[in-house]
Structure 1
């Protein structure tokens, strides 16, 4: 009887402590609400959960959260508050805010948000690579090492590889260009950009374009699923998720294992005096030696970062561009005329040719305005500020949406109209409202690489093929870590007769 009484006493004590802790937490939440509720925002769904139930409902329905942000800025203005438990996210749709927070090294990346990408379900993923590193000094040292490998001058010497891999894609597409066969443009673009990146960056022949069984494309797909899954709190404990999570973990391990072998072999070749391959990895290892640093885990972090970010984003951009062009016959005709004039029947596109494809440049920029594969970026405030007349407290997470700002009438007239002339030389510049590669010191190191590759692939596609969108396309966007066309842009291709 005494034992039973003791157990009841312990249970009551635990219950009392839990209730007391919850009461303290609710008081803390009230304090947070009082400190941040001067910032406009929609009503919270829950006192404790904040706006999270809205987010979870949209995720279950595979709806795009950025569309909700579009509605919020129309209703609540350029600065909007989002509550999740005791954390507050301030969403900024203001050029003034973009200029203040993105252009200065004073505001680091958010440790909590980007920390989720450091490890994926317990397995080291991006680690302290360029995307996830929130320590500015450490990041800056990495950037000094990597920058020479992505300079325009160095990338010009890689045009032969861009052409070689793009030609392999053309041959593959020619087999299916019968005017009847449907194929996924997104799938084909994902495979060719993976092959390009592997060869140009790391001297690897993945052959993803020709070998459906190669494990890399599947591994990358699984990893991107993982970056989406970790947004759900306690995802790894949810019923039915264990098999998926194990596959995601194995995919990350595969990528890092191959990267480690690649780095070790290249360093051995350099030490043995063998003629080094002209690729980005060689440049990075040489620069790291000059900096007298040998942090292989960090170099491996960036290997994984380049693989994931470098091919997914370009593949999505190319797919969205083709999707729009199939609906814009006048733009397609003008674009093909430019390609015919600049490229003609040539199979080898030069760097000088890319500079002369001005309208293609405009089309690719307009595609990024409407469909930025990376829809936004996050920063952390270390001090209080006033933006758009609203006080932004210190120590808060800020989110900047290139997707939303690129679709706002405030910054782009008739924003849902696909109009490449917005980016002509004579058009007004969209300062601090257009940032598909971010802005400031932490802008994407690979943006020149990405757009050179996109131009080579697009020019060859426009030179060789006519595109027709297969029936039944939804034109919807899905967020799987990066934005993609939900239906994969199913197209029917026919060989094009060049008008020279």
Structure 2
């Protein structure tokens, strides 16, 4: 790798775009509508059908995500995209309805419960390594492989023991919904009301209905499991109760939250691992250092476990840096419910406030040489200024499954790097494209050469 080479990135806009050009660009890649100046300024504003503001200033982000949380709910566009599939779950709900669900679900993601689920992640890492070995000398699409591995994890921690639950069908339904419904519509960009039908989301409705039907069946048919069995996510949520209102989730609420966790809990981690493996192949020296750490920390030929995490700090740094360069939720939006001032600029009621995490993480005012791959930025995480790094959001709505995702990612990445040397396939660089999440279009194709522990 050349010392001046940079990993793949999204070409950002250098000239203003009108409504039609913005729509066309956004349907191909939402991130392509971000102006390049957003990586060099604290805030950028404009109008494309509706007034909008892109915010990269940490203090303004703190105001949006923490101090004035209720004044900046998730945008109608975001809700329109997600609600048909995951209802009024944690990812969509606002206000009191969100708060009681969060209080009810939070214990399921305690450090103890996440650690107890480590063996499921370790088993998935072992199966992933076996599939890569079975591929022999053929190039491997590690993105496809990571999607399979992380879906095994999330389905095992969500519906363990439910043999009647068709996991493959749910997986395909989720993918079909994102592919059909996740693209920005002109109706979204001009602010059309939610009740106005979006044809592509209507088309995806059958897949969603089938997915919900199967999840409902899994919830209602769950029987008690043998004593001593580690409780899975469904067990924990069934037993959950809001400590303030003593309310528990009904079947529809359980189903919507479980589907939300499945969607968010496997694809985002799969993307993080895919980009991390691409970056390791891009920089062989960093990969070699990570492999040395993994092999020193793990018993001969053994996969990583949750107990190994304290001995894998550099692997964790690679995950952190992959999340900086390619955050799965690379752009999120809010709707201003009250007038406000951000960065000395007027925000009116109804304005769209965009948090372009991709531009924040590459902002030259906040990060030195921001497009360079350098995991050692995270040697001291406490030195990273708050609200400059938001792969999981922040404030009260920070991702409830962040510790789960990080544990899973470190376990899988350490296991694979200890056993394989990954190298790029010439001419097959991934293309970062965001629909609902920042995906490597075309896959991440790598050669995987087994190495001795």
Give the TM-score range, shorter chain.
Answer: 0.7 to 0.9
The 3 A distance-change label for structure 1 pair 205 and 408 is farther
The equivalent of 2:73 in structure 1 is 109
Q: 2:53 aligns with which of 73, 80, 90?
A: 90
The equivalent of 1:54 in structure 2 is 21
What is the alpha-carbon distance in structure 1 between the residues aligned to residue 59 and residue 141 of structure 2? 40
* TM-score normalised by L of structure 1: 0.79
What is the alpha-carbon distance in structure 2 between the residues aligned to residue 165 and residue 205 of structure 1? 18
Contact 2:303-2:415 at 8 Å conserved across structures: no
Within 5 A, what are the aligned runs for 1:260-275? 260-266=216-222, 268-269=223-224
Q: 1:248 aligns with which of 194, 204, 229?
A: 204
Contact 1:222-1:247 at 8 Å conserved across structures: no
| Structure 2 counterpart SS, 1:488 | coil
The 3 A distance-change label for structure 1 pair 466 and 295 is same
The equivalent of 1:492 in structure 2 is 447
What is the alpha-carbon distance in structure 2 between the residues aligned to residue 294 and residue 325 of structure 1? 42
What is the alpha-carbon distance in structure 1 between the residues aligned to residue 382 and residue 224 of structure 2? 50
CA RMSD of superposed structures (Å): 2.9
Structure 2 residue 189 is matched with structure 1 residue 226: no
What is the alpha-carbon distance in structure 1 between the residues aligned to residue 43 and residue 186 of structure 2? 25
Contact 2:121-2:411 at 8 Å conserved across structures: yes
Structure 2 residue 153 is matched with structure 1 residue 186: no
Contact 1:373-1:483 at 8 Å conserved across structures: yes
Contact 2:177-2:207 at 8 Å conserved across structures: yes
Instruction: Tell me which of the two structures has the higher relative contact order, counting C-alpha pairs closer than 8 angstroms and 6 or more residues apart.
Output: 2
What is the alpha-carbon distance in structure 2 between the residues aligned to residue 395 and residue 245 of structure 1? 24
Deviation of 1:74 (Å): 5.5
Contact 1:66-1:404 at 8 Å conserved across structures: no
Q: 1:125 aligns with which of 51, 71, 85?
A: 85
What is the alpha-carbon distance in structure 1 between the residues aligned to residue 59 and residue 382 of structure 2? 21
The equivalent of 1:317 in structure 2 is 272
Deviation of 1:328 (Å): 0.4
The 3 A distance-change label for structure 1 pair 79 and 43 is same
Deviations 1:272-302 (A, max 9, x none): x987761111111101487333422121111
Q: Which one has the largest radius of gyration?
A: 1
Contact 1:162-1:453 at 8 Å conserved across structures: yes
Deviations 1:308-351 (A, max 9, x none): 11111111110011111101011001101110111142525332
The equivalent of 1:66 in structure 2 is 31
| Alignment gaps of 5+ in structure 2 | 1-12, 190-197
* TM-score normalised by L of structure 2: 0.87
Q: 2:289 aligns with which of 334, 344, 353?
A: 334
The equivalent of 1:428 in structure 2 is 383
